[in-house]
Amino acid sequence: MIRPDTRLSLATVVAMGLATLTVLPLTSDRLFVPVTWLGIALVCATGLVLRRRRSGASLAFATQLLGVVAGSLVLGYAVSRDADLVTAYPRLWARGVLHMQTQSSPMDADPGVFLIFATSICLVAALADLVVSGLDRPAWVVAPLAALFAVPAIGLGYDSGILSFACLALGYLAVLVADGLNDASAWTRGLSADSSQGASFRTSASGTRAVSVVGPAVWRAAGLLAAPAVVLALVLAVLLPTISLPGLGLGSGFGGNGPLQLTDPSLDLKRNLNQPADRVVFRYTTDKPGGVYLRMAALPQFSAAGFGNTQIRLNTGSTLSEPPGYSGAVPEVRTTEITAVDFSSQYLPAPYAARSFTANGDWSYNSESLTIVNSDNRADVLTNLSYQVQSWDIAPTAAELARAGAGAPSDGDVTGVVPPDLPQSLVDLSRQVTRGADTPYARAAAIQAYLRDPDNFTYDTQQRPGNGYQALVNFLTLDRRGYCEQFASAMAMMARVNGIPARVAVGFLPGARSGDTFNVSVRDMHAWPELYFAGYGWVRFEPTPGVQAGSPPAWTVPTDESDTPTPSASASAAPSTATPSASEAPSTAPQETPTQTTTTTTTFPWRTVGVVAGAVVLLLLLATPAVLRIRRRRARLAADGPTDEQVEAAWAELRDTVLDFGGTWPSGTPRAVGREVGQRLEPSDREDLGRVATLVERARYAPSLGDPGATADLPGTTTSLREAITAPAGLGRRVRAFLVPASLFRRR
């Protein structure tokens, strides 16, 4: 027959094992699951063995924590194979944190993330075992279980799904059922081995008597366990990638350090392209034959983390600035009517170069990228939104671009920069690919042709783990396999090395035509590079092979004329100084005056919110013991059950008051305890304490002699005695007793 303590430990293992499955959406690595399950089993087994040896809950928990640390070190050595574990272990954690910050879910396998996940879950398992078996409060295992459930729920930014919730519910149910079986088979009440422990008892899972604290004292278990579990969940959730579009981390999808937190438009590329079932997210009509690219954002900053956002100015109004760098004649104006069918975002997808739009909501735009964002930083404003966009259809010819130089954009200090720490192998390859190309356009065309050549690269959504520079090295020199993210980032990087300002744009392909309507699906999400040419501004290129993106724009493929440009000033690398004629001058139609606010992409102050949230959490943690102690005292003083329970509750409150204020509660009979404690009280208070001690003795040893009316004023007497006990205490002692009540932490 299964012993009660074994039953609860097994239930805890099952609950934590099921809860582990809720984090699977965060990573494509499945190996951490069996390893973590083994760790959970070892953690719970350690607690079970130590509790049977009467080691106590505190010692068992401390041993479990040490075991988790030791196991984490062993696991770190196993995944790193580095004999110098002192330096390798911190590097693994740092690598895992960077991987989580620069990748989106599901992340590629990474040894650092493997270590972080396994260690964190085993720590939560130790907390779960403590609350279930150590503190004998099985119902409160919901705190650590919910913490694990919250990590993907917060990290993914949307409902984790019915399966994740089912795992959480089944695990919780397993613990409750085990506890119910234990209660049904062995429920007893008795007296403590130490008469000074005046409280009622019940048989615990280990077969020993455990205190059943009166009233809401169960909140102690909840508070002490929920606090670290929730903090751990929040820390992981902050580190983990979200469904957002802050930048391209060059891993499995979007991620990075972009400050604008978007909860849904990221729908990161890899996730979308690997969707088991495609779905339509936009429908639109347009007067441009072949449809339009629906552009969401441009990522101008390039660093070791990949392409991402930087600080930008946001302007109000629905009439946008002219496209930066364009100095030609006013091109044809296109009208596009768009409906968001199944998509939520803070970006307003629009054709480039948008000149005006009509949409419900509070929208702003950036004049450098012509990105349109919701000023309220809300993701739901796009849901089921129908809107209209007027855009310029800028379509230079290959010959025109061949005669243009690489321009100097106003944000060239960002879009034209080659990071000094860029691996030399990438610099050398970028120059090798463009060898022999004598104009910026020729170099750009050579890079695009190199990346689109099927003999050089293969379109594939599966890559080895990596982000930032390492992902570029993997893609360009090792695997030569990738999808639009890798192709776009590689071309933008190579263009910069060759002196052409470049950035990465993110949005959607034109979609499939059905009559007069174009249907854009979730798998049409796409990334492409934009290169800056004098007189034309930002020009879209398409290095991704046709298997996804189709044919490249006509202007990106050299013609005979563009292959042999006539030497001229405009064909050099210097910016074009051509000035449009009066007839080519931009429209001077009335526009809403942009307000050059210093708003950045961080339209929502996430850093401030994080600091405030951290401060709130810290304050809540500091206040938790005081709140629990107050609730316990109120419950005891409000006890209205049988006489013996009221008496025991009052006696327990007096005992805890003495302990909270630095005193000791002596051993012995209630009467002996009353005499010793009463020595520090005034005569009248000493008499009251003696009467309470007498009531305790009768309730314990001669309940039939008890007077039902003797407890009528017991709460008032108890309150009066509390005041007498605490009267001599100074301010410092009172503050300590309030914030850190010793009675909550004493071993029972």
User: Average model confidence (pLDDT) for the chain?
Assistant: 77
How confident is the model at residue 79, as a pLDDT? 78
How confident is the model at residue 439, as a pLDDT? 93
Helix (H, G, I), strand (E, B) or coil at 603: coil
Question: Quick one: how many helices (H) and strands (E) in the chain?
Answer: 24, 20
Between residues 248 and 718, which one has the greater pLDDT? Answer: 718
Confidence of residue 193 (pLDDT cuts 50, 70, 90): very low
What's the Cα-to-Cα distance from 304 to each of 96, 420, 431, 460, rounded to whole Å? 15, 10, 20, 23
Asked if residue 176 lies in contact with residue 142, where contact means CB atoms within 8 angstroms, the answer is no
Instruction: Indicate if 549 and 615 belong to the same structural domain.
Output: no
Q: What are phi and psi of 312, to 5 degrees?
A: -135, 160
pLDDT at 206 over 70: no
pLDDT at 258 over 50: no
Asked if residue 373 lies in contact with residue 380, where contact means CB atoms within 8 angstroms, the answer is no
Confidence of residue 263 (pLDDT cuts 50, 70, 90): very low
Encode 36-71: b = buried (16+ Cβ within 10 Å), e = exposed: bbebbbbbbbbbbebbeeeeebeebbebbbebbeeb
CA nearest 394: which of 356, 357, 353? 353
pLDDT at 310 over 70: yes
CB atoms within 10 A of CB 685: 18
The residues, any chain, with a CB within 8 Å of residue 437's CB and separated by 6 or more, are 443, 445, 446
CATH code assigned at 632: 1.20.120
- Tell me the residue range of the domain where 343 lies: 247-604
How confident is the model at residue 187, as a pLDDT? 37
CA dist 141 and 222 (Å) reads: 8
The residues, any chain, with a CB within 8 Å of residue 579's CB and separated by 6 or more, are 327
Instruction: Indicate if 285 and 321 belong to the same structural domain.
Output: yes
Q: What are phi and psi of 537, to 5 degrees?
A: 70, -140
Last residue of a domain, one of 222, 239, 256: 239
How confident is the model at residue 709, as a pLDDT? 57
Instruction: Indicate if 447 and 580 belong to the same structural domain.
Output: yes
Instruction: Indicate if 567 and 694 belong to the same structural domain.
Output: no
Last residue of a domain, one of 568, 586, 604: 604
Asked if residue 306 lies in contact with residue 504, where contact means CB atoms within 8 angstroms, the answer is no
Between residues 593 and 406, which one has the greater pLDDT? Answer: 406
pLDDT at 678 over 90: no
335-389 pLDDT, tens per residue?
Answer: 999 999 887 778 899 999 999 999 988 898 988 899 998 876 665 677 789 999 9
Confidence of residue 424 (pLDDT cuts 50, 70, 90): very high
Instruction: Indicate if 333 and 203 belong to the same structural domain.
Output: no
What's the Cα-to-Cα distance from 698 to each of 189, 691, 701, 708, rounded to whole Å? 17, 11, 5, 11
How confident is the model at residue 163, as a pLDDT? 75
CA dist 627 and 529 (Å) reads: 56
Instruction: Indicate if 395 and 339 belong to the same structural domain.
Output: yes
How confident is the model at residue 585, as a pLDDT? 36
pLDDT at 1 over 60: yes
Kindly report which listed range (149-153, 399-403, 512-516) carries the lowest average pLDDT score.
Answer: 149-153
How confident is the model at residue 748, as a pLDDT? 46
Last residue of a domain, one of 239, 273, 295: 239
How confident is the model at residue 711, as a pLDDT? 58
Kindly report which listed range (180-184, 493-497, 646-650, 700-704) carries the lowest average pLDDT score.
Answer: 180-184
Instruction: Indicate if 227 and 370 belong to the same structural domain.
Output: no
Instruction: Indicate if 512 and 627 belong to the same structural domain.
Output: no
pLDDT at 309 over 90: no
How confident is the model at residue 617, as a pLDDT? 62
- The mean pLDDT value for 530-547 works out to 91
How confident is the model at residue 645, as a pLDDT? 81
CB atoms within 10 A of CB 180: 11
Confidence of residue 398 (pLDDT cuts 50, 70, 90): very high
Instruction: Indicate if 231 and 257 belong to the same structural domain.
Output: no
- The mean pLDDT value for 46-69 works out to 87
Helix (H, G, I), strand (E, B) or coil at 530: strand
572-587 pLDDT, tens per residue?
Answer: 333 333 333 333 333 3
How confident is the model at residue 746, as a pLDDT? 62
Instruction: Indicate if 217 and 268 belong to the same structural domain.
Output: no
Domain count, the chain: 3
Instruction: Indicate if 161 and 254 belong to the same structural domain.
Output: no
CA dist 92 and 76 (Å) reads: 7
Between residues 162 and 53, which one has the greater pLDDT? Answer: 53
pLDDT at 599 over 50: no
% pLDDT > 90, the chain: 27
Asked if residue 515 lies in contact with residue 529, where contact means CB atoms within 8 angstroms, the answer is no
Q: What are phi and psi of 347, to 5 degrees?
A: -90, 145
Asked if residue 639 lies in contact with residue 711, where contact means CB atoms within 8 angstroms, the answer is no
Between residues 669 and 81, which one has the greater pLDDT? Answer: 669
Helix (H, G, I), strand (E, B) or coil at 498: coil
Between residues 610 and 645, which one has the greater pLDDT? Answer: 645
pLDDT at 652 over 80: yes
How confident is the model at residue 317, as a pLDDT? 87
Confidence of residue 547 (pLDDT cuts 50, 70, 90): low
Instruction: Indicate if 544 and 690 belong to the same structural domain.
Output: no
How confident is the model at residue 96, as a pLDDT? 81
Confidence of residue 266 (pLDDT cuts 50, 70, 90): very low
pLDDT at 15 over 60: yes
CB atoms within 10 A of CB 34: 11
CA dist 175 and 14 (Å) reads: 8
How confident is the model at residue 471, as a pLDDT? 86
For residue 571, whether the previous peptide bond is cis, meaning omega lies within 30 degrees of 0, is: no
Question: What is the token pair recorded at 497?
Answer: 């090395």
How confident is the model at residue 451, as a pLDDT? 94
- The mean pLDDT value for 70-82 works out to 83
How confident is the model at residue 183, as a pLDDT? 65
- The mean pLDDT value for 32-36 works out to 89
CA dist 250 and 467 (Å) reads: 5
- The mean pLDDT value for 309-313 works out to 76
E strands, 403-524, in order:
458-459, 481-482, 502-508, 512-514, 517-521
Q: What amino acid occupies position 186? A: A
pLDDT at 268 over 70: no
Question: What is the token pair recorded at 307?
Answer: 């392409």
How confident is the model at residue 381, as a pLDDT? 72
Maximum Cα interatomic distance, the chain, rounded to a whole number of Å: 117
